[in-house]
Amino acid sequence: MTMCDDPTDLVADDYDSETTPGPDGPPPAPWAGPGPVPPDELWWRCWPRPELSGRYHGRQGVVALFGRTVDLRVDIDQRYSSESPVMNRVSGDFYSTRPVKDGQFWRIVRTYENSWIVDSPVVRWGRCAVTITGRLRFWQGVHPVTRVTIRIPWTNGGRRPGVATFRVGRAETAYTITYEADTFRDVRLELDYCSSVDVEPRVPIYGSRWHDNRPTDTPDRVLTIETAYREAGIGVTIDPTHTVIDDSAAGFASWSPGELHDAMETAFSRFSGTWPSWNMWGLQAGSFDNSGVGGIMFDAAAGYGGAGDAPERQGFAVFRDHSWFNDLITGTSTTQDQARAMRQFLYTWVHEAGHAFNLLHSWNKSRPSSLSWMNYDWKYDQLNGADAFWGDFRFRFDDEELIHMRHGDRASVIMGGDPWASGGHLESPADSTIQSEPGGPVELLVRSKSFFDFLEPVELEFRLRNRTSTTLTVDGRLDPKYGTTTVFVQRPDGSRIVFDSLFCLAGIPELLDLAPSVDSGGAAGPDRLSVLVPLTYGAGGFTFAVPGQYLVRAIYHGAGMLQTSNTLRLTVGFPTDKATDRFADDFLTREVGLTLALGGSKSPYLAAGFDALQEASERFADEALGMKASVAVAQSIGDDFYRQDERTLVKHHSADPEAALDVTAATVQAYHESGGRAENLPYGELVGLRSSLFAEVGETDTAANEAETLADDLAARGVRENVVDEVRSAAAELRKS
């Protein structure tokens, strides 16, 4: 055996601590221990040892028209940075190869087969090579027991081609592996800019020690989108060319969810090839309709390749006009306010892009105290004290996230693969069995009517109530898209899912004070907050599409509190006739679901969805389905809709408030006549929508009359006095205007 031989059939016991050094390097010559002692004068051949972790490409020894290749990810020693921890994993993807004729020429193409991981590899370090062994765990399907032996040699500081041998029983398949990069996966990021915010700095740059609130031992380094992800093991290449979208159209002030979704579709129509693909798109825009939102992740698409064929988790946007970024400058910060803004700018870009890798928020994964890009500083601070997050954060993803990004199933990591949150964490929701201790500061009540018609959009009331004798501050954003609530649904077949919103919004908490509880002598009403939460359509599709009985449960984790709700039981009915049953094929589509979830849209990509909702509002006008569909139609046609034409935002649809009022007239009358408490919240929201529409056509007196009618109806139904007073005050303001 020569000094660089490292036989692969040795077992771990053949090496002791002196002869199997760790990744910091082999022991100094002469080499003490069993086996031949290499000549002193030749020790330099194995020095220095290169970094071995990274991505390797493997092919079978003989190049054939039909065969297999493997993409191998080795994660066993330090790479790139001290802030890039070793995960001690090996993973890979198998591909088959075949010839395809392209015009007059033939080329070899790869077809993805499956992915696997070795969770606990045995790593044996020799003087000139490392040997890694372990058992494969495939992410999908049933496979025979498969083991791998990987040998990677080096000489004079350079990596040499290695061998990966896979064994199934006595059968072996060997691949020659060559090193490709110190990143485990590579992604292309296209960044586009609205002209109103096409200013420097266009991309974030932040020095890790610029702000005083930081860990004292943080290495001094410059962080960008690329370096933050390279530390995570992901190679991000920002496309040097970008599109500037002229957003100076008269009347355009802020982006709606529907307009952002349409812009994303337009951007991705420029990408050639098929999905899934390692491509992301980011937009720097001015403002969102909700000015408190600084960033948004898009988790849906409709138009690419036709309905139902669009990729998921495609893109995100950062809103440059948000107050977070008021103190941004170009270059090195000179004040703490500038450093804070530049840090937040970097955080927002990295955080929103992280969602595209199928990463959930830290608290959605039962890790609310995780020091990760995927946590919110204010959520961490609520549990650990003011300014604690930035004082502890080391600008990295946590270990579980790193394992997912580097070694997770390809389909659950790649853009356009598994739908958001389905591949990485929540097939068996870990938090679905959490129970709050009795006597908590707040009560979370989930309630609705007990029966929903087939195809009827499902909206539930989430009510927070103060149970203490003192004023309590809560985050009033109870919709899951803000990350303050997690919703679990048990379907009729017994399976449990987590409802995941199509959008993930990062923004400023909307803190509200709830008065002391009634039980402690407080006034009835100001001690509680009710919000109507739409759950019809999420990242997993239609939540309540199948007739039968459902159980719904929620967790509130805001303002430093964690509170579980009651379990709500509701039933979805069966179709009452063949016409309704047949209409389900037109209604239960991605386009309809997206239009509902977006709060209306006039995007051409979703035209079929709008048409189906319009048909539902007419065919089922006297039923709950038609009434709720009419609201979605009004939301779509009642507002201007802007979309990109070439590189300019233009008005694609002009608001038609009169038509929106007409389509909802029967619905508001039905809510008025129903007398049911379950309709109070949707009744109130519809009157609010119609008030804005009446204002647009100059009929504020009519809007005030409708608001007064709502107040009278709510009072007659026993709604708390403070709520009724708020409606009457709104009516009075309408009359003044």
**Above 70 in pLDDT, residue 326?**
yes
Measure the CA–CA gap between 272 and 167, rounded to whole angstroms.
Answer: 38
- Summarised one tens digit per residue, pLDDT across range 99-117 is 776 667 777 778 889 999 9
Please check whether residue 20 lies inside any domain of the structure: yes
Q: How many domains does the chain have?
A: 3
pLDDT at 34: 41
Percent pLDDT > 70 in the chain is 87
CA distance 103 to 111: 20
pLDDT at position 7? 36
Of 314, 275, 279, 315, whose CA–CA distance to 295 is shortest? 315
Highest mean pLDDT among 306-310, 379-383, 589-593: 589-593
Question: Are 138 and 229 members of one domain?
Answer: no
Q: Which residues of 659-698 are buried (b: 16+ CB within 10 A; e: fewer)?
A: ebbebbeebbebbbeeeeeebbbbbbebbebbbebbebee
Q: Rg (Cα) of the chain, in Å, rounded?
A: 29
Gap between the Cα atoms of 336 and 281, Å rounded:
31
Kindly state the tokens that stand for 157: 């500081």
Tens of pLDDT along 59-107? Answer: 986 655 668 899 999 999 999 988 999 999 999 999 988 777 666 777 7
Place of tokens 């080329």: 107
pLDDT at 237 (0 to 100):
96
Per-residue pLDDT at 65: 61
**Which residue from 275, 270, 273 is spatially nearest to 190, judged by alpha carbons?**
270
Indicate if the pLDDT at residue 434 is higher than 90: no
Give CA–CA dist 65/68, Å, rounded: 10
Mark whether 221 and 315 lie in a shared domain. yes
Q: Provide the CB-side half-sphere exposure for 263 (13 A, CA).
A: 33
Query: What whole-number distance in Å separates Cα of residue 249 and Cα of residue 252?
Result: 6
Over residues 604-629, the mean pLDDT reads 96
DSSP run (H or E) holding 564: strand 561-564
11 pLDDT above the threshold of 50: no
What's the CA gap between 157 and 693, in Å, rounded?
A: 71
Domain co-membership, 355 together with 239: yes
Q: Is the pLDDT of residue 313 over 60?
A: no
**143 and 194 share a domain?**
no
Confidence of residue 274 (pLDDT cuts 50, 70, 90): low
Query: DSSP class of residue 255?
Result: B
The pLDDT value recorded for residue 174 is 96
Most confident of 63-72, 514-523, 554-563, 579-588: 579-588
* Same-domain check for residues 149 and 193: no
Give the pLDDT mean for 226-254. Answer: 95
Residue 372: pLDDT above 60?
A: yes
Percent of the chain with pLDDT strictly greater than 90: 67
Of 361, 282, 266, 268, give the one whose Cα is nearest residue 320: 282
How confident is residue 343, by pLDDT bands cut at 50, 70 and 90?
very high
- The phi, psi pair for 78, rounded to 5°, reads -60, 135
Lowest mean pLDDT among 15-19, 43-47, 78-82, 179-183: 15-19
Does a structural domain hold residue 288? yes
Residue 31 pLDDT greater than 60, yes or no: no
Domain that holds residue 401: 185-413
Structural domain includes residue 704: yes
Considering the domain architecture, whether residues 177 and 202 belong to the same structural domain is answered as no
Residue 275 has pLDDT above 60, yes or no: yes
What is the band of 727 on the pLDDT scale with cuts at 50, 70, 90?
Answer: very high
Could you give the residue ranges of the DSSP H alpha helices within 239-335?
A: 257-268
E strands, 28-88, in order:
54-60, 67-75
pLDDT-wise least confident of 443-447, 537-541, 591-595: 537-541
Residue 547 within a domain: no
- Residue pair 440/561 in contact (Cβ under 8 Å)? The answer is yes
Do 282 and 163 belong together in one domain?
no
User: Coil, helix or strand for 233?
Assistant: coil
Residue 107 is predicted with a pLDDT of 74
pLDDT value at residue 437: 52
CA distance 466 to 485: 17
pLDDT of 16 above 80: no
Residue type (1 letter), 598: L
* pLDDT value of residue 64: 56
CATH number of the domain within which 238 lies: 3.40.390.10
Residue 223 and residue 164 share a domain: no
Residues 383, 369: Cα–Cα separation, whole Å: 7
Contact 76, 121 (CB under 8 A): yes
Half-sphere exposure at residue 176, Cβ-oriented, CA atoms within 13 angstroms: 6
Which band of pLDDT confidence, cut at 50, 70 and 90, is reported for residue 389?
A: very high
Q: Rounded mean pLDDT of the chain?
A: 87
Nearest partner of 640 among 242, 94, 249, 210, judged by Cα:
249
Nearest-angstrom CA–CA distance, 536 and 455: 9
Report which DSSP code applies to 18. Answer: T
Residues 196 and 140 placed together within one structural domain of the fold: no
Q: Considering 413, 442, 467, which residue would you say is the last residue of a domain?
A: 413
Asked whether residue 597 is domain-assigned, the answer is no
> Of 108-112, 262-266, 443-447, which has the strongest mean pLDDT?
443-447
Query: What is the Cα–Cα distance from 445 to 563, expressed in whole angstroms?
Result: 10
**253 shares its domain with 109:** no
Distance CA 642, CA 716 (A): 42
For residues 233 and 183, the answer to whether their CB atoms sit within 8 Å is yes
Q: In terms of domains, do 233 and 354 share one?
A: yes
Of 72, 193, 175, 50, nearest to 121 by C-alpha is 72
The helix or strand, by DSSP H or E, that contains position 726, with its residue range, turns out to be helix 721-736
Query: Is the link from the previous residue into 604 a cis peptide, with omega within 30 of 0?
Result: no
Lowest mean pLDDT among 171-175, 282-286, 516-520: 516-520
Is 13 a residue whose pLDDT tops 50?
no
Token pair belonging to 325: 């970024």
Domain C-terminal end among 391, 413, 435: 413
Computed from CA positions of residues 262, 263, 265, 266, in that sequence, does the dihedral angle turn out positive or negative? positive
The Cα–Cα gap between 107 and 110 comes to: 10
Residue 144 lies in a domain: yes
Q: How far is CA 571 from CA 433, 453, 498, in A?
A: 22, 9, 18
382 band by pLDDT with thresholds 50, 70 and 90:
confident
Q: What is the pLDDT of residue 530?
A: 94
69 and 126 inside one domain: yes
Picking from 150, 181, 212, the residue at the C-terminal end of a domain is 181
Residue pLDDT, tens place only, 35-48: 444 555 566 788 88
Q: How far apart are CA 366 and CA 361, in angstroms?
A: 9
Residue 152 in domain: yes
Contact 401, 359 (CB under 8 A): yes
Of the candidates 636, 623, 624, the residue with the CA atom closest to the CA atom of residue 596: 636
Asked if residue 433 has pLDDT above 70, the reply is no
Query: Residue 303: its pLDDT value, please?
Result: 39
Q: How far apart are CA 408 and CA 410, in angstroms?
A: 6
What count of other Cβ atoms lies within 10 Å of the Cβ of residue 735?
A: 13
What pLDDT does residue 108 have? 75
Is 550 inside any structural domain? no
Identify the sign of the CA torsion 368, 372, 374, 379: positive
Strands 105-118 and 89-102: antiparallel
